[in-house]
Structure 1
């Protein structure tokens, strides 16, 4: 379409479906009657051109942000991605055949690189014309997102109904104020009145329901007593939250109000603001917990001594557990969390309980030997520091772990629904606190330690340049963990996510042979666990198939034990395999092909139920995994933010602030509004060829592993311009360690230096079971809101985790402890200029 016709694009869109209809000229006159005759002629010719049959093939490979596949239509082969296919089929319905209009529309999709570039250039030109200030303000606003405190939401003891009625309120001075109710419950009421009315929290007031006196037999002489619990203001309106004063009972009014709400709650609608907030809050927790790369370990306080009691694993943080497992696959996590380090963490200030631990392993005679040292332990043995860091960092097993400790309470294990018990017996049952047997296992828990792997290629390369005396290597045994002093076992529980088991699984290791139906190539291995409908196998070679492929599994050892069943050709479908393609999850083939497998394992389990061990995910104490998950969610230690897909880009949706992450929280909150953070600094590279967040998420999806990157930040809160106040540099933007060192020095000179270890993970499917009760409750009164919430729930695609590694980076580049301490305190020396009265006084 030419530039001249571009201004008539809306008219052309309206005419496309009518181009082959007899009424075309009549419709053209109707929709373009106000245009000159020559313009109408040009529009008509353009629509006719778009409707002409086309024989061209479309190949979008390399031209769009998407995976293209072969798509054939009417004998013509095209290579299109999903968005282009949708556009192709949509335009086919408009024109009725493959035309030039279809051809051109398919090449104008939003994920086409040329289209994105043209729009970016156009947007940049418009912004330059509109002024740099407005552009900056608009850009910053795009990256402001609300802060979510996980599992912190309001719970109501009674249903609250939206209801507006005229009220008269008498305060303690017996002054009368007129107002209107906003919502009402048997326990309280919210009132809207003028901003000039003066009240104070805790004040007793008496309310007369003037708007109900004509319809109901209300007591006109005695008001209903309430206590002011909260005062809010919005523009010229004041909102009072009031609670019934129990010392002034009124059974008649209680009975009336209960009956009135029950009979009218569908008419006036239940106030569900807290339930909607709870659904959003729980949604964030669902996307955060199951794929958070940090490993939480729960610490008991036994006679004043900290003892690791439980750990909580998910599909991402289990890499830490794998690292601290020996050649027998026995967990040795206790080497990392020994009593000396836990005591050292406890001795630090409550808001600075963190420790960096360096480690490597040594393999000798097929046995794994673990070596680790914290930054404090290396400082005590300064002679060996260079040898440990220089030698250890040259090994493939080199790791750096950040340990953070915070206080916690067993009471945090209970997260009731936002809905009152009175709604139904099912809701009341779900709101029941954890059982005494479960709480007895949690009663001594006092601390939570988070372990995060913050190893980086740049850091490892830097440490490997440390020079050391090889004669000192034999002395490194002081940092070794003796194999004959095995640490106390720490039971591992798993985050329960959407993949809930429909049946019990049992441990059974037996030799197997797996064959693909496609090529018939056998792969040997062993079974890990079994159930009636499924298997998990560990293969000696690589699995070459795909999800949903049909495979045959043989059990030669088990066949020797049974003559009733043929177990040498059991039929299964592939449902999952790990990134290394050596662990495969199978389900029995549907219908008759899978009957043999189901019948055999059903008999096997029934006859051996007393001897078969259930899989460790089957909790010995029901509910303990869920309880530990809730405790962890309420004690997040570092800042994270969730991202949703917006067209072909990803944008932040919500942020989770860490309890002990003041430096990063202060940075992120600097340009944010109330209860918001602004994450623009994490997207400063958005116009480069491979912006970290956008490019990283695609890489995570391909590799199915977290993507890591370090970012150095110069933070000067005294600057009002965001681009000067926060200057971020991703590690790949530095050319050498000298430039990194200089950046740190300059950042400290102008304000504060902050280093972040950034991890990107994708999110799994939402577990609607954990939200269903509240979604159903919202659906009863506002089904459209429930659908909106579910749509939003499915839009979240990734999560970014920002871990503060400032002190470790400064130690890496040999800054003195005094400089590290001074940098931590630097923010207090740089404050934003005062305004208003304070500015006038200073003048």
Structure 2
């Protein structure tokens, strides 16, 4: 290939190609290079003579180009080239007059060559990075969203598992069918199957058997399989004008001999030909996006076992973002009350709902009497039975501090879902998946359901529920929704989600008394620490506090002062970083000033001198591996719609959405405008980038550990005999709450309206250890592809999780029961039609 220092003279080289072996070569060359230095003339002439040398190399582009490779005969030699390479070859023969070194290099560097494509992509990324680094600081302050409104769909909770490696390999074969033979070729090949490209249309049903004769391989190897190899058709696929068959090899008398040959052939040639990495790449992306989603999970999965015919809530999977929901269902003895909230009667009623998605709205409030905490809960179906009782429940319950509204979703699961299959072919996996321990298998063996509780309450919605009238004389009627105290509460434990720890330092559990004050009011209240690090601590108070994020408090540590004379531990400034929903737990950070923070210095020395005695806040799990097993079960059945925001230089792009094994209602609604089943058209909800720019601006200001920013989105469906139209409105587009209420009530009366709670949060870095096997496998065969996939995951900056709140919005704004029921029927009818249309 022409060296870089001669690239500027490529025009001269192109002009001289046709004269390389002619008698007037020297005359033409002198004419074209007369103004060049003698040194350059000499180098150019040497380059041209090199290119004109006859070439005896075989050209084999199988696995090296993006195209269908076929055998091509030239002067008794068989080359393997695609259509693009053949055109270059034949045009070059006319220019050079023969098959030369220059012609060989041109064929090996066509535009669709994977190596050439990778080099150009790398150059473009470098060019883009340089341009962005030279942009002004003013531009960097204004990230914008991408103009493309299409998002690809990444499946989660479901991995493509392949036992054998597949290699892109084009070889001639013949199909023996009904006594006749038909020519075809392979597009990829593995020990257990292959993918065929047919040269003529043939009719064959999945499950039918054919015999394949590998005529192309028989020209190079003594196979000795004159009767052919038995294969079964698995599936057919039409790509443009080409028909492809996916085939599975069936057992036969010579099965082991042929399998051994294929295994050796693939192992010996997989560095030469391109290994099919599609399934491993897809699994890597699925696992990568799962690890972004799970640590930010605000929904609370509760795992229900069935023992002796009765449901038993066994455990819940907790994160930093769903702990408030877990704590809501703890009584005065810190025992979870799910066994009464998720009773047999209630679970049966939800599972018997006509819709495919077994979900409802759960309303809950707590009432404290004589030091005991009593729980009252009701589903939307239970409240539908009596209008007066429903209004009483809303009006009274919403005034309580413990008022919450949840979307409750019930999914059937099995212990088998806890196993995560290996996504790397066994030949390169090194070792097989260890699987679950016997202890974990025993723990989860009776789990049959997951009840997912998504907190959809807000201060604004609570205000509307408080507008319902309350008749004090009828309060005793609420007793039917109360949960009795049980003497023997079945234990239900919280299992913390295990994921990559992004904290800058370790935290340690320690309880010590703390006096809290601020600049305005000394000796304000007392509390105690829950855990601490050198840079901050978590503090719990008996009474709710009025402090907000950003406030600076002054702390006294009287008990700690007794063990230290070196540091004065009074009036230590700490900044409030977060406050729990109960207003009794605060995360504080040392507020640094001009002088070193005394509290930070004290805790640094305390940790250094007592590290072996202190208990880490992140203790080892009680059942190692249980968190992973529960994670896998949840991902197998979750059906949330989740968008991801990628940081691309100074911009944010919204071009990826994840989908579980069952599409959510929002997936189905957006499929109305998506021609490609692998992509989702987001134009409706992104509204010409206005919404995505709105999300980007908020995301830019968010911290990684900050609570999600919530929005509400309303999709209105207008149907006629011929058309279906959708429109979208976000809560921030309404003038006020009253305007939003009128919009919703009008849509409930005359159209179909779907409502969603969107929760935007900033994601952490990717968990590279979790995808190490897939990343290493891809790197071994296509390091450029591994780098692209890794760069994609590192560019994820935030995510938006959508929860369907359609069943809650109507009653929030006071819709009548008959309107509410008609709306639910319309919604379900439309979703059923869309579900049936899903391929």
- SS state at 1:289 partner: helix
Matched, 1:161 2:164: no
Alignment partner for residue 601 of structure 1, among 586, 606, 610?
610
Q: Is the 8 A contact 1:658 1:665 kept in 2?
A: no
> Per-residue deviation at 1:204?
1.9
Matched, 1:356 2:358: no
- 1:106: which partner in 2? 136
The higher relative CO (CA closer than 8 Å, separation ≥ 6) is in 2
> Per-residue deviation at 1:294?
0.9
> Per-residue deviation at 1:784?
0.8
> Which stretch of structure 1 is more off in the superposition, 576-585 or 731-740?
576-585
Matched, 1:678 2:708: no
C-alpha offsets along residues 207-253 of structure 1, whole Å, 9 cap, x if unaligned?
22222223222226232222222221101212222222113434333
> Per-residue deviation at 1:809?
1.8
Q: 1:372 and 1:509, CA in 2 relative to 1: closer, same or farther beyond 3 A?
A: same
Matched, 1:143 2:149: yes
Q: 1:566 and 1:537, CA in 2 relative to 1: closer, same or farther beyond 3 A?
A: farther
- 1:787: which partner in 2? 787
> Which stretch of structure 1 is more off in the superposition, 218-227 or 494-503?
494-503
Alignment partner for residue 710 of structure 1, among 712, 717, 738?
712
Where does structure 1 lack aligned partners over 5 or more consecutive residues? Answer: 1-85, 92-104, 121-137, 515-520, 606-611, 835-843
Q: 1:768 and 1:745, CA in 2 relative to 1: closer, same or farther beyond 3 A?
A: same
Q: 1:482 and 1:593, CA in 2 relative to 1: closer, same or farther beyond 3 A?
A: closer
Work out the CA distance in 2 between the residues paired with 1:147 and 1:197: 32
Q: Is the 8 A contact 1:155 1:417 kept in 2?
A: yes
Matched, 1:400 2:405: yes
- SS state at 1:799 partner: strand
- 2:799: which partner in 1? 799
Q: 1:424 and 1:576, CA in 2 relative to 1: closer, same or farther beyond 3 A?
A: farther
Work out the CA distance in 1 between the residues paired with 2:175 and 2:477: 80
Q: 1:623 and 1:558, CA in 2 relative to 1: closer, same or farther beyond 3 A?
A: farther
Q: 1:833 and 1:668, CA in 2 relative to 1: closer, same or farther beyond 3 A?
A: closer
Q: 1:186 and 1:658, CA in 2 relative to 1: closer, same or farther beyond 3 A?
A: closer
C-alpha offsets along residues 292-328 of structure 1, whole Å, 9 cap, x if unaligned?
2111111112233222111101111112113233455
The TM-score with structure 2 as length reference comes to 0.70
Work out the CA distance in 2 between the residues paired with 1:657 and 1:372: 31
Question: Equivalent residues in 2 for 1:6-21 (5 A)?
Answer: none
Matched, 1:820 2:792: no
Q: 1:360 and 1:539, CA in 2 relative to 1: closer, same or farther beyond 3 A?
A: closer
Matched, 1:227 2:232: yes
Question: Equivalent residues in 2 for 1:457-536 (5 A)?
Answer: 457-473=459-475, 475-482=477-484, 487-499=489-501, 508-510=510-512, 528=530
Q: Is the 8 A contact 1:755 1:809 kept in 2?
A: yes
- 1:131: which partner in 2? none
Work out the CA distance in 2 between the residues paired with 1:408 and 1:169: 43
Alignment partner for residue 196 of structure 1, among 173, 178, 201?
201
- 1:324: which partner in 2? 329
Matched, 1:439 2:448: no
Q: 1:818 and 1:666, CA in 2 relative to 1: closer, same or farther beyond 3 A?
A: farther
Work out the CA distance in 1 between the residues paired with 2:317 and 2:448: 16
- 2:349: which partner in 1? 344
- 2:624: which partner in 1? 622
Q: 1:225 and 1:413, CA in 2 relative to 1: closer, same or farther beyond 3 A?
A: same
- SS state at 2:139 partner: coil
C-alpha offsets along residues 146-183 of structure 1, whole Å, 9 cap, x if unaligned?
33331312111122222222222222x12212222222
Matched, 1:298 2:303: yes
Question: Equivalent residues in 2 for 1:386-425 (5 A)?
Answer: 386-425=391-430
Q: 1:364 and 1:220, CA in 2 relative to 1: closer, same or farther beyond 3 A?
A: closer
- SS state at 1:670 partner: helix
- SS state at 1:211 partner: helix
Q: Is the 8 A contact 1:512 1:525 kept in 2?
A: yes
Q: Is the 8 A contact 1:685 1:692 kept in 2?
A: no
- SS state at 2:807 partner: helix
> Which stretch of structure 1 is more off in the superposition, 185-194 or 770-779?
185-194
Q: Is the 8 A contact 2:186 2:195 kept in 1?
A: yes
- SS state at 2:271 partner: helix
Work out the CA distance in 2 between the residues paired with 1:745 and 1:322: 34
- 1:67: which partner in 2? none
- 1:170: which partner in 2? 176
Work out the CA distance in 1 between the residues paired with 2:694 and 2:488: 42
Work out the CA distance in 2 between the residues paired with 1:448 and 1:756: 22
Work out the CA distance in 2 between the residues paired with 1:582 and 1:739: 36
- SS state at 2:247 partner: strand
- SS state at 2:216 partner: helix
Q: 1:466 and 1:512, CA in 2 relative to 1: closer, same or farther beyond 3 A?
A: closer
Q: Is the 8 A contact 2:157 2:661 kept in 1?
A: no
> Per-residue deviation at 1:396?
4.2
CA RMSD of aligned residues (A): 4.6
> Per-residue deviation at 1:691?
6.1
Q: 1:291 and 1:669, CA in 2 relative to 1: closer, same or farther beyond 3 A?
A: same
Work out the CA distance in 2 between the residues paired with 1:160 and 1:222: 24
Work out the CA distance in 1 between the residues paired with 2:696 and 2:722: 28
- SS state at 1:716 partner: strand
Work out the CA distance in 1 between the residues paired with 2:203 and 2:799: 45
- 2:645: which partner in 1? 643
- SS state at 1:779 partner: helix
Q: 1:719 and 1:642, CA in 2 relative to 1: closer, same or farther beyond 3 A?
A: farther
Number of residue pairs the alignment of both structures matches? 678
> Per-residue deviation at 1:543?
12
Q: 1:297 and 1:730, CA in 2 relative to 1: closer, same or farther beyond 3 A?
A: same
- 1:725: which partner in 2? 725
Q: 1:503 and 1:459, CA in 2 relative to 1: closer, same or farther beyond 3 A?
A: closer
C-alpha offsets along residues 755-793 of structure 1, whole Å, 9 cap, x if unaligned?
222222222221111101110111111111111011100
> Per-residue deviation at 1:366?
6.0
Work out the CA distance in 2 between the residues paired with 1:298 and 1:793: 30
> Per-residue deviation at 1:680?
2.4
Matched, 1:777 2:786: no
Q: Is the 8 A contact 2:530 2:540 kept in 1?
A: no
> Which stretch of structure 1 is more off in the superposition, 655-664 or 222-231?
655-664
- SS state at 1:640 partner: strand
- SS state at 1:162 partner: coil
- 1:307: which partner in 2? 312
Where does structure 2 lack aligned partners over 5 or more consecutive residues? Answer: 1-128, 517-522, 591-597, 835-839
- 2:263: which partner in 1? 258
C-alpha offsets along residues 181-206 of structure 1, whole Å, 9 cap, x if unaligned?
22222222222222523333222222
Q: Is the 8 A contact 1:294 1:452 kept in 2?
A: yes
Q: Is the 8 A contact 2:311 2:343 kept in 1?
A: no
Matched, 1:375 2:380: yes
Q: Is the 8 A contact 1:717 1:832 kept in 2?
A: no
Q: 1:360 and 1:443, CA in 2 relative to 1: closer, same or farther beyond 3 A?
A: same
C-alpha offsets along residues 517-575 of structure 1, whole Å, 9 cap, x if unaligned?
xxxx9x997564699x99965477999999xxxx9999849959xxxx99999xxxx99
